[in-house]
Structures are given as C-alpha cells and as structure tokens.
Amino acid sequence: MHELSPAECQRLRVVLVDSDERVRESLAGILSIGRQVEVVGTTGEPAAGIELVTSLHPNVCVVDPRLPDMDRGRAFIGRLRDVAPDVRILVMNVSDAPDDGLLGSTVDGFVRKTYRPSELLAAIMSTCVPAAR
C-alpha cells in the first residue's frame, strides 16, 4: 500500500459514501471548516462511489457500512480495494462495535456516527498512518 507523504496528510482529499443525504451534507460541511480536508465528492450509491474514487483519486474514502445492495458495505469495500488499493478507507459506523459485520475487512479505521467533529477529523487524519494488515 502507498504510504501518504507529509504533504498529502496536510490536505487530504476525501470522498464520502453514505446512503443518508443529510449525513453526507453534514459531514461535508463539518470537514470543509478546516484546511486539512477537502471533500471532493459525495454519493449515496455504491457504484457511484467506485466511480468517484477512481476518477477523483482521493486519499480517503469515508464509507457507511450499511450501503444498499452491498452486503453491509463489505462488497463495496472489497471492490474499492480492487480498483483503488492506495485509497484509505474509514468506516463510519452506527454501532459501538468497530467491526459490525466487517470483521476481517481491509479498512484503515472506524469512527462512530455519534462522533464529535474533532473525533471525525482525528479519525480521517489517522489514516495517514498505515494500518497493520
């Protein structure tokens, strides 16, 4: 996996893939406040998420594990790893269990949807550190 350079970690390009439009809008608004993250695309559809990631080349993709038609996000994450192995994947989960059915998936981090904005930013920035696989 490609390790992010310090420059890439200073301004991360992010794609948001969440089935709830309100969540996507809220996340994009929160993340646009600082200078560390640029939200380059958002979608609620798995196929469109793959398209956005392959065309926009973000550093991080924030994923809702409960995407429609995608086996609780597992299939989407697997497909994302196939087409964009260097993109960091951060799962935004509604439960306290970090795996929530994704145990064994190759994700780079988890954050709860009950996050504080500082926790979300910290989780995104932590993807700069390579995850143990």
Domain boundaries, the chain: 8-126
Q: What is the pTM of this model?
A: 0.81
Q: DSSP readout, the chain?
A: -PPPPHHHHHSEEEEEE-S-HHHHHHHHHHHTSSSSEEEEEEES-HHHHHHHHHHH--SEEEE-TT-TTSGGGHHHHHHHHHH-TTSEEEEEESSS-SSTT-TT---SEEEETT--HHHHHHHHHHTTSPPP-
State yes or no: pLDDT of 10 exceeds 70. no
Summarize pLDDT for 12-39 with one digit per residue, the tens.
899 999 989 998 999 899 888 877 889 9
Report the mean per-residue pLDDT for the chain. 80
| CATH 3.30.70.270 corresponds to the domain 8-126 | no
